[in-house]
């Protein structure tokens, strides 16, 4: 593709060479550059692409897009822009022929509920007869084809490539988790969303954003780039989003008056029943996932689809046809007759842990046992808060390691324990042994909640990443118990 065409809608200055040359591919990692490519220098978490200009040139780059004034640069075309991240997003879109404009995009953001909501929207739209793509933390989907996911929202180049694959497969809608990191880092820059859903906002990612205000401002970006905002007005930050968002707005709630309203909630061990009301019509819904917060996720998902013209009866069918979401309040003992249940959930924030434990408490007839920890190299201020929540909202807790990454597991655990005010807990560093001990102490009517990793199939240690799927771990432990009994 011609470089000038690639730079369409990008404000730029030709510092050296000319913009009338053919480009083979777009790269932002100098190690991936081949002859004829354009290399875009972006700043990452750890390093800066400007440091690798010489490496990109040696690998064959025909053009470099940069934002800094450098004393010495190699003999190739140099394009200067104000912001290389925004430039990469627009260049990537142009390279793949602007695929986001050829289908409707529904973005979902919030601290909790993004993943569940994407699956709910996908199920509703597919029930309505549309072909749907999904981008999220568990996996990416192009129709029924599953593609591994390496981060919640991909870098703009990979994102536009996914959009192009969806367009090529005649996808009507792409529903995507839109993380605060991706919004702040302009991965979705230039994408106009058809619907943007706000789920909630609680403490998380302050290791990256530093302040809660910065976190909020990052989330707000989505609602300034959408035709319509779907806002949880039960959440106190939903009120603020409503005031700050652009475009048209639709609210949803359970506890307050809203355009899409949930009522008559009745939770049981395998799900929740409630009514959805919209435009003076009401439908009863029997959702296969328990928890008031999942009813809230269903309302937001329903609202987005209703605003896309899907009727309420189809919304009901779409929600009820969804069996579960991997690692989100997932009961992994359904096929066993243990007398107790084991629930795996991704809860890794104070609010997430509180939600899953309060939900599990509502269908626990005996003891509620919780296994949890905190990840390393992440916001450490939430660790004592989660220690307090995990022990106070359960009858017994096993505090363990999560993904320690470069930190010492026991150092993390000690910070969690610092917030504990009770004596109803033990510490077992090894996560598998912690789960096994919790299951050993479970009796008839008890519920064991294993929180923090959910759908993940790995554990990140200091020197390696190991396979660790908690559904498999629970099944292995059950087999061990059966053999020894």
Binding residues for ATP: 110-116
> Of 67, 59, 15, which Cα lies nearest the Cα of 37?
59
What tokens were used for 18?
Answer: 């000319």
> How deeply is 39 buried, as exposed, middle or buried, from its count of CB atoms within 10 A (0-12, 13-18, 19+)?
buried
Q: Name the binding residues for meso-2,6-diaminopimelate.
A: 378, 402-405, 452, 456
Annotated binding site: 30, 110-116, 152-153, 179, 187, 378, 402-405, 452, 456
Instruction: Extract the tokens encoding 277.
Output: 């009301």
CA distance 450 to 484: 23
Distance CA 246, CA 250 (A): 12
Phi, psi of 8 (to 5 degrees): -55, 130
């Amino acid at each position: 593709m011609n470089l000038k065409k690639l730079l369409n809608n990008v404000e730029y200055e030709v510092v050296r060479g000319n913009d009338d040359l053919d480009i083979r591919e777009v790269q932002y990692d100098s190690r991936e550059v081949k002859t004829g490519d354009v290399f875009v220098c972006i700043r990452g978490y750890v390093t800066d692409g400007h440091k690798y200009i010489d490496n990109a040139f040696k690998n064959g780059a025909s053009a470099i897009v940069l934002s800094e004034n450098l004393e010495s640069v190699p003999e190739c075309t140099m394009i200067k822009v104000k912001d290389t991240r925004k430039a990469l997003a627009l260049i990537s879109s142009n390279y793949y022929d602007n695929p986001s404009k050829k289908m409707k995009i529904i973005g979902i953001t919030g601290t909790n509920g993004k993943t569940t909501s994407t699956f709910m929207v996908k199920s509703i739209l597919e029930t309505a007869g549309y072909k749907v793509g999904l981008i999220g933390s568990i996996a990416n989907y192009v129709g029924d084809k599953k593609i591994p996911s390496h981060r919640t929202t991909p870098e703009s180049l990979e994102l536009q490539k996914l959009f192009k694959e969806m367009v090529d497969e005649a996808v009507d809608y792409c529903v995507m988790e839109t993380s605060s990191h991706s919004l702040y880092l302009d991965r979705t820059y230039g994408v106009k969303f058809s619907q943007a859903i706000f789920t909630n906002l609680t403490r998380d990612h302050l290791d990256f954003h530093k302040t809660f205000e910065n976190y909020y401002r990052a989330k707000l970006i989505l609602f300034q780039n959408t035709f319509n905002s779907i806002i949880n007005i039960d959440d106190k930050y939903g009120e603020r989003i409503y005031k700050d968002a652009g475009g048209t707005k639709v609210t949803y709630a359970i506890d307050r008056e809203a355009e899409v309203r949930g009522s008559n909630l009745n939770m049981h061990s395998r799900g929740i029943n409630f009514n959805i009301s919209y435009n003076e019509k009401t439908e009863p819904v029997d959702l296969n996932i328990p928890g008031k917060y999942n009813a809230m996720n269903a309302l937001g998902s329903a609202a987005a689809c209703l605003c896309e013209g899907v009727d309420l009866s189809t919304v009901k069918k779409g929600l009820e046809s969804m069996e579960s979401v991997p690692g989100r309040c997932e009961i992994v003992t359904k096929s066993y007759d243990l007398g107790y249940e084991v629930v795996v959930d991704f809860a890794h924030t104070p609010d997430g842990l509180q939600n899953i434990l309060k939900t599990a408490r509502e269908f626990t007839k005996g003891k509620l046992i919780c296994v949890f920890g905190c990840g390393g190299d992440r916001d450490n201020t939430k660790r004592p808060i989660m220690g307090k929540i995990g022990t106070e909202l359960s009858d017994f807790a096993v505090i363990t390691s999560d993904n320690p990454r470069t930190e010492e597991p026991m150092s993390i655990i000690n910070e969690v324990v610092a917030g504990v005010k009770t004596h109803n807990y033990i510490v077992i560093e090894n996560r598998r042994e912690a789960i096994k001990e919790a299951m050993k102490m479970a009796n008839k009517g008890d519920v064991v909640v294993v929180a923090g990793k959910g759908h993940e199939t790995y554990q990140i240690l200091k020197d390696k990443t190991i396979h660790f799927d908690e559904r498999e771990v629970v099944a292995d432990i059950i087999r061990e118990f059966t053999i020894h009994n």
